[in-house]
Amino acid sequence: MAKPVAVEVYNPNGKYRVVSTKPMPGTRWINLLVDQGCRVEICHLTKTILSVEDIIDLIGNKCDGVIGQLTEDWGETLFSALSKAGGKAFSNMAVGYNNVDVEAANKYGIAVGNTPGVLTETTAELAASLSLAAARRIVEADGFMRAGLYEGWLPHLFVGNLLKGQTVGVIGAGRIGSAYARMMVEGFKMNLIYFDLYQSTRLEKFVTAYGQFLKANGEQPVTWKRASSMEEVLREADLISLHPVLDKTTYHLVNKERLAMMKKEAILVNCSRGPVIDEVALVNHLRENPMFRVGLDVFEEEPFMKPGLADMKNAIVVPHIASASKWTREGMATLAALNVLGRIKGYPIWSDPNRVDPFLNENASPPNASPSIVNSKALGLPVSKL
């Protein structure tokens, strides 16, 4: 097979050929594949985003499975190439799979894996970090110090927002949204308002119990409210964090009109998907409302930002690092590898993709199952009874 790019090979005589389009954190994922008879090839092409042509070259004439990244365009062309090479599985090293045409994968009988269950706390922590950094203007103050502008304490220097006693709004109270809400409620004694199509009973019970604890200790209890609409959250919250899925209904969920509903000194955080926010409208809103602040981990057209965003001092921008803790990224690599291995070996699908601790225990062999295959029902794959 032609090798158009630098490829690092493990277990060259392995029975099964698995390609990773990028080096991934840790070594456990490599060892797990090698121990099960896989030849592992890791692409070391220096370009950040591989093209469809690059990946076709990597797949070659024989490939049993591919581990890829959410920056790659996995559609008809790539699934056709993988099928022709005898491939059975592709897994994103990500929980999201907006880059994958699942219908095309179904057409060619290719299982599509993702890596939920390992990003919850890490992503929520970054959302909390952006919230605090925006509220206390930490990035602005850091730049001020590095520029040598600090000449002494001043009463009005970088005055920000106190979070205690304010209201945190969460749009999308799933696993990550709920984890973030708990951090902000317990960590900063914020009241909660949330909007979700489904009631988050566990979250409500948590806030109620914590409120009772505070009251019993002579402090002001925190409260919660389930909003009847997203607009209600936007109007009432002092700090808003977005955690919806991205689909046709949530594209530009936060637009010019909804930004105008928010408080003038509100803080908006997005660690979900970039297109949830109309970035052009956001830049204009930031420019017209200097006390409004935003913390962004994702962008509408990654890796690019809309013109003007980088110039806004009231915007904190980081390069899609919500899952970038060592434990989480190594866990994502492990789950992606086991998704591919499970289909190669003909293992069933794990019954609950959000409960993946058995796959992450380094002191024990992982279950004989694929942790998370998003099109398992469409392909008629059996579910594990473990």
Catalytic residue list: 273, 302, 320
Cα angle, residue 208 at apex, residues 205 and 213 outer, rounded to 5°: 125
Write the burial class of residue 105 (CB in 10 Å: 0-12 exposed, 13-18 middle, 19+ buried). buried
Neighbours of 13 (CB within 10 A): 6
Q: Is 126 in a helix, a strand, or coil?
A: helix
Asked if the peptide bond before residue 382 counts as cis, ω within 30 degrees of 0, the response is: no
Q: Report CA 150 to chain centroid distance, whole Å.
A: 37
Beta carbons within 8 Å of 264's beta carbon, 6+ residues apart = 289, 291, 292
Q: Report CA 327 to chain centroid distance, whole Å.
A: 14
Q: Which amino acid, residue 372?
A: S
Q: Tokens standing for 242?
A: 């977005």
